[in-house]
Every structure is written in structure tokens, then in C-alpha cells.
Amino acid sequence: MPYTLRPAELTDAPAVTELLNQVDEIEIGRPETDLHTVEADLKHPETDLERDSWLVWDEERLVAYGLLWDESGGERIDIDQYVLPDHQRAAARMLEAMERRALEKARENGASRAVVHLHVNVAPTLDTDLLRASNWRVVRRYHVLRRALDPARGIFRRSLRLPAPRVRCVAARRRHRRAGLVDGVDRLHR
């Protein structure tokens, strides 16, 4: 049966969360996505779900999800794409749609080209051969590290004579800012 590609709706948040946790388990060994994070992305005031989100269904099962956003107001366009490993054909179809929209968005910004950034895990479920075949290239590789600190134990404070740390919670707008090992890849569109 052919895949069905359509924009996401806020009511799809539970299915998207389930898909992202399946991808998390494959890529990093544990689920790491919660419903409110997905809902925040889907209802962000700068997100045009009709034009900047994609869901690919295999009958009743969600197998791929993508989201595009533009924080640059210029040529840089960011995308996230998540796909189950056995559905690379769906990933390719969605990636083509996302690339077309990225170029359109960059042109709306007055740019003559789009530089599209996709953040992927070091061992992604998305087939990296698909990316290479489409002329994507790695532009940077970095590690996002996480360490719990206990101010009561004086971690670093005593040895460096620093004041007690202030704690600030910041909700990341996009999932690629979560802890994990990440590659940044981009594609230039003219």
C-alpha cells in the first residue's frame, strides 16, 4: 500500500510522540520525548503546520515526521526528520518535500538560495546514504554532554571558590537541542 503524506495537526501530537520515542529507543537506547515538547513544537506561533510539517503514514501507522523552521530570516532553514528504519522510501519522499519548502521559505525571506540544516544522531534511523545521494554533507560534528550537579555537595564550588550555581530552566524549541550525539548536515539549494 502506498504511503500517505500530509501536514501535521495538533491532534497528531500523541502519534508523533510515540514515533519519536521509537526513534529515540533505536538511536540512543531509551525514550526521551514527552508529549508537551511535541505539542509545543506543533503549536509554536511561528510554525505553519500546513506548510512546514509533514507526516507519513503507512496505513494507520505513523512512520515518519518532519518539521521545518526558520530562525534566520535569511537563507538558513532548519529541519528535523524522524523515520523508522524500514521506511526509507517515505523518508526520501518527505525529504524532497521539505527541500522544496526550504527553498520557497528562503526565497520568501529574500534569499536567492537555501542552506538547509538537518541535525541527525551519530547513528540515525534515517539512511545516511540517502542524504549523500542527495548531495547532503556533514558540516560539523559535536557532542552534547549532560551531567547532573548537586549544589548541596558543592560540586566545583569549593575547589574553584565559585558562588553557588543558579539554576535556570530553558525549554528547547526543537528536539535537536536535546542531549545526545549529533551531526549537523546541510544542503545548499540554488
Reported as a pLDDT band with limits 50, 70 and 90, residue 1 is: low
Residue type, 21: N
> CA nearest 127: which of 88, 180, 84?
88
Confidence class of residue 134 from pLDDT cuts 50, 70 and 90?
A: confident
For the cut 80, the answer to whether the pLDDT of residue 190 exceeds it is no
Other beta carbons less than 10 A from residue 88's beta carbon: 18
The contacts found for 128-131 with CB under 8 angstroms, 24 or more apart, are: 130/88, 130/91, 130/92, 130/95, 131/185
H helix runs in the chain, sequence order: 13-28, 35-42, 49-52, 88-108, 128-133, 157-160
Write down the pTM of the prediction.
Answer: 0.76
Given pLDDT bands bounded at 50, 70 and 90, which one contains residue 149? confident
Q: Which of 145, 132, 144, 125 is nearest to 186 (CA)?
A: 132
Question: CA 90 to CA 128: how far, in whole Å?
Answer: 14
Is the per-residue pLDDT at 157 higher than 60? no
| pLDDT of 105 higher than 80 | yes
Average pLDDT, the chain: 83
